[in-house]
Amino acid sequence: MEAFSDAVIAIVLTLMAVELLQLSPQRPEGQDLPGALFHEWPAYLAYVITFVIVGQVWLTHHNMWRYVVKVDQLLLVLNLLLLLFVAAIPFAASLLADNLRGTVADQRLTAALYVGTVLGEALFFNLSWWWARRRRLLDPGLDPRLARAVARRFLLGPVLYVVAFGISFVDPVLSLAAYFLLTGLYLIRGPGDLPSSRPARA
């Protein structure tokens, strides 16, 4: 299951890189390259934010599945639904980049779709963890206190993403910046994450 999920996430990142390679800045007559590159800033912003988001999904998914020792049919389905939203992130990012300089209504709609996509994967992270705990699919040696701490950390994501979703209807760019910062919180080691490496003592 983890290998399959890693493959899907790797394909998503590859598609993002291919999309960036195909980006050719439009250079009106007389415009220099720096100006043309700056003109494409929405595409670069969408790429960076999306890469950080998908990278955070991969880290969280890897850390979560270290504790899962058994699977059942529903857990497989929940994981597939999580990947459904992950696979849709590049489309939402491309749509966002194309409309970030559009009308206010287009900006709000695309920002809402983008944040809604990542909100969906966060919700299915929570459901997967909840079901694995409920059905005793986790490592029997896992400390229940740690399992609850991981659940609380997972629950924080959707709450913060709903805030970013609401901001998207006020200021789409601000909502993306807020989501970018919120995603960064998950890059900091928390409950259930792999321990930091330490140099061996003599």
**Where do the domains of the chain lie?**
2-185
Q: How far apart are CA 80 and CA 177, in angstroms?
A: 28
Tokens of 49: 């934010």
Of the ranges 61-65, 67-71, 94-98, 136-140, which one carries the lowest mean pLDDT score?
94-98
pLDDT of residue 85: 94
pLDDT tens by residue, 110-154: 878 887 888 898 899 999 999 999 999 999 999 999 999 889 888
Given a cut of 80, whether residue 56 has pLDDT beyond it is: yes
Question: Whose CA is closest to 114, among 161, 73, 160?
Answer: 161
pLDDT of residue 202: 39
156 against 126, higher pLDDT: 126
Mean pLDDT comparison of 41-50, 102-111, 181-190, highest-scoring range: 102-111
Burial letters 181-202, b for 16+ CB under 10 A, else e: ebbeebeeebebbeeeeeeeee
pLDDT tens by residue, 5-38: 999 999 888 887 777 666 655 555 656 767 666 7
How high is the mean pLDDT of the chain? 80
Q: How far apart are CA 62 and CA 38, in angstroms?
A: 36
Q: How far apart are CA 178 and CA 66, in angstroms?
A: 29
33 against 94, higher pLDDT: 94
Question: Whose CA is closest to 53, among 192, 168, 160, 195?
Answer: 160
Q: Which residues contact 4 (CB under 8 A, 6 or more apart)?
A: none
Given a cut of 90, whether residue 184 has pLDDT beyond it is: no
Given a cut of 70, whether residue 106 has pLDDT beyond it is: yes
Is residue 121 a contact partner of residue 5, using CB atoms and an 8 Å limit? no
State the virtual CA torsion across 134, 137, 142, 144 in degrees, nearest 10: 0
% of the chain exceeding 70 in pLDDT: 78
Tokens of 202: 């003599």
Average pLDDT over residues 93-110: 77
How many Cβ atoms sit within 10 Å of the Cβ of residue 122?
26
Tokens of 154: 């997972």
Question: Whose CA is closest to 88, among 123, 125, 118?
Answer: 118
Given a cut of 90, whether residue 186 has pLDDT beyond it is: no
Given a cut of 70, whether residue 200 has pLDDT beyond it is: no
